[in-house]
Structure 1
């Protein structure tokens, strides 16, 4: 099944048609091995909460709240701005320390502003710095963090 929705665009858009090579995005990024998930959404939508759950399941922190995204050919790599590297916010607890990883290729974008209602949703995509990436929407269910980790391990088959 193909998506009938247009690609969402995150980050700067070039006027002259050439995509910029670096952008600072309002988003949290976690990595599992050699791939990363970029979690985007408005403040208060649960980006850091999801990231903390993923960290508890074995993911590594790339960056919380702000992510530097750099295009290398057709790959986007995520890193933390130096001022916030190794820190993640836990509301009601404070800033927590976490060993950061850097320069990890982004495999998936998670949009926290939209709640997915379909049991088997269509394939969604977004564009960042001119690169097309798969996009999933937030799922309000306990399996969501585990499903994200499995997506990073094996991708989506349908």
Structure 2
């Protein structure tokens, strides 16, 4: 298992399984705020602030460190206890930033596994809804699969860091 990443992990039940979204960005970028808003539209918390990531069977998975399991920090309020999943598969990585209007599909490598990546302003009111729609485009719905449009992933070589 890799060291904890500075990221939160949310999951949405779709297509008969939990589909995970790893949300990464610098401290104060809105990761926990996004998680709080996503919970209101059906997402479940897996981890907030720190996520342990590993691969198994060709897929990336994540969970909260034991000390943070079931906890969500809400600035100005404190640390809340919320129902959380023990772990889930990571199907999408969302990175804090300014998205292009019509971005080309991208991937990032987590624990040696290529995972689709989406750039979003985490503080946008529509961010949880955009993430839900992106998961639909990953094949959870009848829409064209986002995965089918992705370029072949390239894994980093020895001494090179993942994107």
Range class of TM-score, shorter chain: 0.7 to 0.9
Matched, 1:126 2:122: no
Over the aligned positions, Cα root-mean-square deviation in angstroms equals 1.6
Of residues 19, 27, 39, the one that matches 2:7 is 27
Instruction: Tell me the SS of whatever aligns to 2:129.
Output: helix
Corresponding position of 1:61 = 45
Report matched runs for 1:68-79 at 5 Å.
68-79=52-63
**1:141–1:85 distance in 2 versus 1, CA, 3 Å:** closer
Specify which structure has the bigger relative contact order, considering alpha-carbon pairs within 8 angstroms and separated by 6 or more residues.
1
Residues in 1 aligned to 2:3 and 2:33: alpha-carbon distance in whole angstroms: 23
**Structure-2-length-normalised TM-score:** 0.77
- Structure having the higher strand fraction is 1
Corresponding position of 1:96 = 80
Q: 1:100, CA displacement in angstroms?
A: 1.0
How many residue pairs get matched?
136
Instruction: Tell me the SS of whatever aligns to 2:131.
Output: helix
- 5+ residue gaps, structure 1: 1-20
Residues in 2 aligned to 1:143 and 1:130: alpha-carbon distance in whole angstroms: 31
After superposition, what is the alpha-carbon deviation per residue over 1:115-134, rounded to whole angstroms, capped at 9, x for unaligned? 11x21111111111111111
